[in-house]
Structure 1
Amino acid sequence: MNLFTRRHFLTQIGSFAGATYPAMMALGLLKSAPVHTMDWQGSGQGKKIIILGAGLTGMAAAYELAKLGYQCTILEARDRSGGRLFTARNGATTEETDNGKSTAVFSEGLYFNAGPSRIPHHHQLTLHYCKELGIPLEVYNNINEASYYFSEGKGKLANQKIRKREIHNDMRGYMSELLFKAIDSKQLDTTLSKEDAEKFLEYIRAEGGLNIDNLYKGTARRGYSELPGSGTKTGNYAAPHPLADMIGSGLANPEFFNVAEYAIELQMTMLQAVGGNDRIATELGKKVGRNIRYRTEVTSIKNGSEGVTITYTDNAGQHQLQGDYCICTIPLTVLSDIDHNFSSPVSRAIDKTAYIQCGKIGMQFRRRFWEEDEMIYGGITHTNNLLYQIFYPSNDYLGKKGMLIGYYNFNDRAKQVGDMSYAEREKLAYEKGMLVHPQYEKEYEQKAFSVSWHKTKFSMGGWAIYSDEERKSLYSHLLQPEKQVYFAGEHLSYLNGWMAGAFESARSVVTALHARVSDQRIAYPKVS
């Protein structure tokens, strides 16, 4: 069987040096966020644009439209901007459909990103806006081999925390050993010449850390049982975990697949806004804030032959607002319950598009024990229980207090946890977190704040998800304007769940609307 060819293994290998965003740019290690400009010709002639939602898409659209001479009014149901770009700090509030309101009570200066927390280095448009708005960035340590795998269940390695580097290197070593044997004994037809096959075997030997007999017996890569030091202290590394024990303990199950770290969106270097990602929303809000009407809940969207009429409610009652055009960024799960006169294909797309269920909890600790005791600086611990992931902060290293994201889960796990009360979620995060970090008992300060996005009012989901077939059917109907209404948001991009998706959609819609108003043939180009 032909499993290996030149095409299979000739891949590019690269790495980034960790540094702050300005330093990386100065050293030429990161591009200066080049993006296509929005310097379109023509004027909006004062046309009135009603934008529904003051999330990233809505504010970015208003920001760009204002440059072109449009009058924008943004209606936002919440009392803050940003939408799902939400950093929870002291005094932050959330409201869920069956849990009511919750207010965060954290020490001053502590926070966690309850919404988007990471910026991939190649999301150039997000970086562009950070640069244009003067938002300082810092490295987000997404991948950390010092963090843990914790498999709750049966098996010799179950119910104990194991450094990721141990599992990763042991698995890589055993796979390399097996592959080396198969190729060396010609049990696999690689279609390689003898010379190329020998080079490939040499690569496998190095990649897996095989010994002189081409066997995997462990290396220093997996960590030391006794660290090297001065004098004659050479250091010792423990014997590798047996392959059967890793598999039998569930450490080869989907929860522990390493493929997520291979995804281009999660490859290093990743970045975050210094002080919380809500700074992106805050700085955008400074540009367009005078046009935002907060606590205005849209109840009706009606297209007319010459314009659009929006009905909304606020503390003073019900009102109507008329505009020439409307840009609707409301999540489709929320829009589905709003009265409208859209066509049947558009209505069906709104009603049928699904959003992922997901949730996070932030927990405050009096001491950063993960750094002081366990040498974990950033990164993620993975479990197979309801927590799924524990995130360690990538800021304020060696500070006095700290915040952990006690869980970040999706789908069925998120549903189960989302059905709990706020107090029950905190109890779950504490008890399951104790299995990994017994320090919780002494260091946890009983300060937690959880968000289940699929139950959060005005969001009702984490981000849109589509099958390939739904991209052709549901998705495609929302890419075109519905008379005077344009739809926009991360749900109308191929960057679902990322801030870049919101920004790309905003620019695309601004271009389409301006082309229509100014009677130009212009199109927003794709970023390569």
Structure 2
Amino acid sequence: MLALGLLKSAPAHAFNLEGKGKGKKIIILGAGLAGMASAYELTKLGYDCTILEARERTGGRCWSIKNGSRHNEVNKQTVTANFDEGLYFNAGPSRIPHNHELTLHYCKELGVPIQVYNNVNESTYYFAEGKGSLSNKKIRAREIHNDVRGYMTEMLAKTMDNGELDSPLTKEDSQKIVEYLMAEGGLDADKLYKASARRGYIEAPGAGDKPGKLSDPLKLAEIIQSGLLDPDFYNVAEYTYELQMTMFQAVGGMDKIAQAFEKKLTPMLKLNAEVSNIQNTADGVKITYKDKVGTHELSGDFCICTIPLPVLSNIKNNFSSNVSRAVDYINYNETGKIGLQFNRRFWEEDEHIYGGITHTNNELTQIFYPSYDYLSKKGILIGYYNFNEKAKQVGELSYAEREQLALYKGKLIHPQYDKTFEKSLSVSWHKTKYSMGGWAVYTSETRKNAYPALLKPDGNIYFAGEHLTYLNAWMAGAFESARSVVADLHSRNTESRQTYPTQTTKG
């Protein structure tokens, strides 16, 4: 039927809405991914869109910092990155899960090349500051993972042998479980955990009389007492749905996705346009904004507001009371990153780390290794990626103090910092003008009582962004929200029932 033209093809993310916009004027607030995706889809339907963006660039939090990138935080001077040409780090989103199909769909439709992002790397480290015998030492992730897995399966196997497992299993069932545990944990014939090649070598195997030398496993009590099983290290990436491999990134930086949208939307973009007033009117909307020339008013039939809620709460408006409460009650988290440029990729040359994440319990929280330009001369590490209270404390520091902290804590893991560091730039998103937070963080109360108010239009004003999905912090959240709002607005405008694809899985 497809071949004969009797049935339309239905790609996973087809968005073929019926009807036309007939030139209705839509004012979109914010040129982040949600705002630009909304304009992109509405323009296809014949709407007349204008996008107002307060920043001098598009993309919002989808931002790759490169040479010449300018950054502005509240109560701090504007800084400009002076990284070497071709080097960058993603200050915002850096990963695309393979199950976020809509993000991948837009990469394909807009011609944005992608490459594999190495999120899981057993060669990275765990580093716990403290007073335990293993504290203040960098330990390969593979050693911790395999030793803990081995000890835990050993204990469970012994429990099975003693018949202490509170589960109605036959003898044959129990034997199968024990066999699985032995394989999973690498146990020997006596159901004991001992070191194997899984956790790596002290001396690598090679030619001739070089079978390789294994180290003894770390003791479970030492692992626990040294803080290496504390909550700081619970985020095992391969277990988290969105972080499971395979993951991707846009070649050249994630902002290539934003730039691809921008190329399609340039005529309707107004940058450096800071919104100061959002008003519902009897027959549409009226938006007040100021730019380098002065203050302007813009009228339209509908508005799609994608401004982050901590920023929106300080903009004058005539929203309904329940919408105003929702805007004020939904919180965003504190988070920050720093990019550190080094004149030598010592993590690859000295330590055989190609991509992946080192985890710590100090202010750094995480160190990210680049998944591009392997074996090249220079590179940029994300020297910290922290959240909540740690990010809040680091965000209060000056740019110079953040750099000093990243270097001081980082060289506890990589002493090569001293001889190879060149330059840096840091971003605290909760301090960043026009963002004022990393992403929306819901409690059960705000998800129940505040979230629903923003899912519906308030008069002629619609709301969109990652904060209006269950995909908070992901680019897919922006895209899913944009499509949902476009479909709702278009259905209302055409005064007919429309059907459109909805995802049953995260995308």
| Residue 418 of structure 2 is aligned to residue 448 of structure 1 | no
Partners in 1 of 2:155 and 2:83 — Cα distance? 51
Deviation of 1:259 after TM superposition, in Å, equals 3.8
Specify the alignment match of 2:309 in structure 1.
332
What amino acid sits opposite 2:438 in the alignment?
A: G
Alignment of 1:306-385 (within 5 A): 306-385=283-362
Q: Deviations over 1:26-85 (max 9, x none)?
A: xxxxxxx95331111111010000000000011000000011000000000000000000
Equivalent residue in structure 2 for 1:159, among 115, 129, 136: 136
Deviation of 1:432 after TM superposition, in Å, equals 0.5
Partners in 2 of 1:393 and 1:54 — Cα distance? 27
Alignment of 1:191-206 (within 5 A): 191-206=168-183
Q: Residue 490 of structure 1 contacts residue 496 of structure 1 at CA under 8 Å; is this kept in 2?
A: yes
Alignment of 1:107-506 (within 5 A): 107-445=84-422, 447-506=423-482
Deviation of 1:102 after TM superposition, in Å, equals 1.2
| Residue 474 of structure 2 is aligned to residue 508 of structure 1 | no
What amino acid sits opposite 2:485 in the alignment?
A: V
Deviation of 1:196 after TM superposition, in Å, equals 1.3
Partners in 2 of 1:260 and 1:227 — Cα distance? 27
Partners in 2 of 1:200 and 1:457 — Cα distance? 55
Q: Deviations over 1:247-297 (max 9, x none)?
A: 111101011124444110000000000010100000000001110000000
Specify the alignment match of 2:7 in structure 1.
none
Q: Residue 512 of structure 1 contacts residue 523 of structure 1 at CA under 8 Å; is this kept in 2?
A: no
Partners in 1 of 2:454 and 2:80 — Cα distance? 36
**Percent of aligned pairs sharing the same letter:** 64
Specify the alignment match of 1:517 in structure 2.
493
Partners in 2 of 1:35 and 1:436 — Cα distance? 45
Q: Residue 34 of structure 1 contacts residue 124 of structure 1 at CA under 8 Å; is this kept in 2?
A: no
Q: Deviations over 1:166-210 (max 9, x none)?
A: 000000000000000011110112212211111111000000000
Secondary structure of the residue aligned to 1:319 is: strand
Secondary structure of the residue aligned to 1:154 is: coil
What amino acid sits opposite 2:82 in the alignment?
A: V
For the structure 1 residues 523 and 300, does the alpha-carbon distance in structure 2 shift closer, same or farther, using more than 3 Å as the test?
A: farther
Partners in 2 of 1:394 and 1:72 — Cα distance? 37
Partners in 1 of 2:156 and 2:57 — Cα distance? 55
Secondary structure of the residue aligned to 2:72 is: strand
Q: Deviations over 1:99-130 (max 9, x none)?
A: 23111110010000000000000100000000
Deviation of 1:217 after TM superposition, in Å, equals 1.4
> Normalising to structure 1: TM-score of the pair?
0.93
For the structure 1 residues 432 and 247, does the alpha-carbon distance in structure 2 shift closer, same or farther, using more than 3 Å as the test?
A: same
Partners in 2 of 1:323 and 1:517 — Cα distance? 13
Q: Residue 65 of structure 2 contacts residue 90 of structure 2 at CA under 8 Å; is this kept in 1?
A: yes
Partners in 1 of 2:318 and 2:374 — Cα distance? 53
Specify the alignment match of 1:13 in structure 2.
none
Partners in 2 of 1:191 and 1:260 — Cα distance? 33
* Structure 1 segments (4+ residues) deviating >3 Å: 258-261
Q: Unaligned stretches of 5+ in structure 2? A: 1-9
Secondary structure of the residue aligned to 1:139 is: strand
Deviation of 1:523 after TM superposition, in Å, equals 4.4
Specify the alignment match of 1:27 in structure 2.
none
Specify the alignment match of 1:88 in structure 2.
65
Partners in 2 of 1:410 and 1:224 — Cα distance? 34
What amino acid sits opposite 1:455 in the alignment?
A: K
Specify the alignment match of 2:14 in structure 1.
37
Specify the alignment match of 2:50 in structure 1.
73
Partners in 1 of 2:314 and 2:23 — Cα distance? 31
What amino acid sits opposite 1:485 in the alignment?
A: I
Q: Residue 225 of structure 1 contacts residue 236 of structure 1 at CA under 8 Å; is this kept in 2?
A: yes
Q: Deviations over 1:122-152 (max 9, x none)?
A: 1000000000011111000001000000111
Partners in 1 of 2:307 and 2:133 — Cα distance? 49
Secondary structure of the residue aligned to 1:300 is: strand
Deviation of 1:525 after TM superposition, in Å, equals 3.3
Q: Residue 507 of structure 1 contacts residue 524 of structure 1 at CA under 8 Å; is this kept in 2?
A: no
Aligned length: 495
Partners in 2 of 1:34 and 1:353 — Cα distance? 35
Partners in 1 of 2:11 and 2:503 — Cα distance? 9
Partners in 1 of 2:418 and 2:11 — Cα distance? 48
Secondary structure of the residue aligned to 1:96 is: coil
> Normalising to structure 2: TM-score of the pair?
0.97
For the structure 1 residues 108 and 411, does the alpha-carbon distance in structure 2 shift closer, same or farther, using more than 3 Å as the test?
A: same
